[in-house]
């Protein structure tokens, strides 16, 4: 393979004293070198003649990366000789690349990160797991699936999953709490089943049905919903369509206490035991003419 580094060292650097013919000759030589590199690379990328070793060597010489965190070169910032890589397709994406750095720094604070997979985006918080007896933090070797990661040398600045070394990449073991999810959900509408995006917020109540206690936001084909799934599995929230707006789960009155009526007030108790007090004003005939709630809102009572 033509030397990849020659693409940099062979780049013409004119001083200004060259003739037009000399400049054209130098540019011709560089274009030829570039063409040969591209030909070699493309030949080794064909399915019939894929050469992983050559590709890795070319990437190593021509790609500058800040941090290697996955099976291939997935980085904080990834650049090639031809500019920033702007189009990247992957089957999984995690933003917990800071695990190794956190362990080296002794940082045991909660770790918030995103995990995109299978058309699902999870919002996760990891808390360092501890030994139940000593309360010391638990650790493990960094892995992705079945692939373990190792530091390439004792400086612990670069890692590899290609071969074992004397320096395993040690990280804290985290207990994960899913605090949010963006996913596609099935919605039946006009005899058809649609796949619509749905945002789920909160960790829930920790019940067998993990969705209970979580908030939901979903836009179907002709409706919109914002609700909380209660402990009983009931949707309590706002539902909007072309010709309706429903508000479900409103508290209902369970008691009206008029024992203080003669003193100018009464109380109302609603579902859940919450109560509210109201002041009452009377006219000369002892008829109520105004009711005022605790926020000062007045409601007139008309007898005519």
pLDDT tens-place string over residues 50-95: 566 665 665 555 555 444 444 444 444 444 444 555 556 677 888 8
pLDDT at residue number 3 = 52
Distance between CA 83 and CA 3 in Å, rounded? 20
Average pLDDT over residues 87-116: 87
Are 73 and 93 spatial neighbours (Cβ–Cβ below 8 Å)? no
- Binned at pLDDT 50, 70 and 90, residue 299 comes out as very high
Q: What pTM value is reported for the model?
A: 0.59
pLDDT surpassing 60 at residue 4:
no
Q: pLDDT tens digits for 197-242?
A: 899 999 999 899 999 999 999 988 888 999 999 999 999 999 999 9
Distant-in-sequence, close-in-space partners of 15: CB < 8 Å, separation ≥ 6: none
Q: pLDDT tens digits for 6-24?
A: 555 566 666 767 777 777 7
Listed by start position, the domains of the chain span 6-84, 96-138+173-249, 253-300
Average pLDDT over residues 162-170: 91
């Amino acid at each position: 393979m033509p030397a990849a580094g020659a693409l940099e060292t062979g780049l013409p650097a004119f001083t200004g004293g060259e003739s037009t013919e000399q400049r054209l000759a130098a540019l011709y030589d560089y274009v030829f070198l570039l063409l040969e590199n591209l030909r070699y690379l493309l030949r080794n990328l064909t399915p019939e003649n894929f050469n992983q070793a050559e590709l890795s060597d070319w990437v190593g010489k021509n790609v500058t990366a800040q941090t290697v965190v996955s099976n291939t070169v997935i980085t904080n910032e990834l650049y090639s000789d031809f500019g920033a890589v702007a189009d990247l397709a992957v089957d999984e994406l995690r933003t917990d690349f800071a695990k190794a750095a956190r362990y080296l720094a002794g940082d045991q604070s909660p770790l918030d990160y995103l995990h995109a997979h299978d058309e699902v985006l999870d919002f996760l918080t990891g808390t360092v797991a501890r030994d139940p007896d000593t309360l010391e933090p638990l650790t493990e070797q960094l892995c992705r699936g079945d692939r373990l990661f190792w530091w390439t040398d004792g400086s612990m600045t670069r890692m590899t999953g290609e071969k074992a070394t004397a320096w395993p990449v040690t990280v804290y073991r985290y207990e994960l709490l899913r605090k949010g999810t963006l996913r596609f959900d099935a919605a039946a509408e006009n005899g058809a089943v649609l796949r619509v995006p749905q945002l789920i917020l909160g960790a829930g109540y920790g019940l067998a049905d993990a969705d209970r206690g979580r908030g939901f936001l979903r836009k179907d084909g002709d409706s919109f919903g914002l609700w909380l799934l209660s402990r009983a599995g009931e949707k309590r929230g706002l539902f909007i369509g072309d010709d309706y707006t429903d508000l479900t789960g409103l508290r209902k009155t369970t008691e009206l206490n008029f024992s203080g009526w003669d003193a100018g007030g009464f109380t109302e108790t609603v579902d859940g035991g919450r109560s509210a007090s109201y002041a009452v004003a009377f006219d000369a005939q002892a008829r109520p003419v105004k009711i005022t709630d605790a926020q000062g809102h007045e409601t007139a009572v008309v007898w005519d």
